[in-house]
Structure 1
Amino acid sequence: MTSRTQIPDTVTLHVPFRVVKRGGRKEMQLPEGVQQSRRTDNTLVKALARAFRWKHMLDSGEFATIGELAEHEGIAPSYMTRVLRLSLLAPDIVEAILDGRQGPEVTLARVLEPFPAAWNEQRPGFQADTDD
């Protein structure tokens, strides 16, 4: 009645991509012109959340100094200072990171480096990925 088609034991699939390092980890990069889905960087999102949480704790008077808060959180004050700086990022940069639209050069290591306080001076270093 129905003929049975022989199913092969293996199937070979060729997908063009290359492996690049991004923020200390390896990532697949698709060829030029292929639209990639947005991917939120959870490490960046967590750092932003910490920055704004810690800023609120300091602003509310819950902790008087960064040193006091750092001791409470069990981290080095120098690290806390670098993360707290993220609360100074321009709102559109924060939004791009939360939406997964930040450029490939925007990694945790990169955002923890010193950056200008003026929002218009920050944008060239934190270009959002506009390929929608």
Structure 2
Amino acid sequence: MTRGAPIPDTVTLHVPFRIVKRGGRKEMQLPHGAVQPCKSDSTLVKALARAFRWKRMLESGEFATIAELADREGIAPSYMTRVLRLTLLAPDNVEAILDGKQGPEVTLARVMEPFPIEWDGQLPSLCSRRIK
């Protein structure tokens, strides 16, 4: 448009995107290469917070066993052990999750699957974008 041109009544803008299910909710995913806003996954962040809180409670001696802590929290010990494994994630991966830079393929279900304990073995398989 130029300065003297009339303003159109309607402007149509086409943005290619797709809707994907993530963590039980729908999310808009822009095409590869498009700048996507960083938004942390609250489910992943909550799981990380729980894992580190439970680890601190066990290490402090407040609870002697995982079974005792799981009973107090009202959850299954097997679930607690899977969540506690998140404390073994590399600091880069934890930071990427907290900053929302973990990539769309990183979900709570995927992070709860067995992963290498060695930090170098976790990247780039777990988080698609390594923090610089």
TM bracket (short chain): 0.7 to 0.9
Distance 2:126 2:31 in 1: 23
Q: Which amino acid aligns with 2:102?
A: Q
Q: Which amino acid aligns with 1:37?
A: P
Note the residue ranges of structure 1 that are not aligned, 5 or more in a row. Answer: 1-7
Distance 2:120 2:32 in 1: 29
String of CA shifts for 1:68-123, please: whole Å, max 9, x gaps.
00000000001000000000101110001001110211100001111111111111
Contact 1:96 1:128 in 2 (8 A): no
How far apart are 1:11 and its partner, in Å? Answer: 7.7
How far apart are 1:130 and its partner, in Å? Answer: 5.8
Which residue in the other structure is 1:39 paired with?
Answer: 39
Kindly report the root-mean-square deviation, in angstroms, between the aligned alpha carbons of the 2 structures: 2.4
Worse-matched range after superposition: 31-40 or 85-94: 31-40
TM-score (norm: length of structure 2): 0.84
Q: Which amino acid aligns with 1:81?
A: T
Q: Which amino acid aligns with 1:16?
A: P
Identity between Structure 1 and Structure 2 (%): 75
Worse-matched range after superposition: 25-34 or 86-95: 25-34
Which residue in the other structure is 2:105 paired with?
Answer: 105
List structure 1 runs of 4+ shifted beyond 6 angstroms: none
TM-score (norm: length of structure 1): 0.84
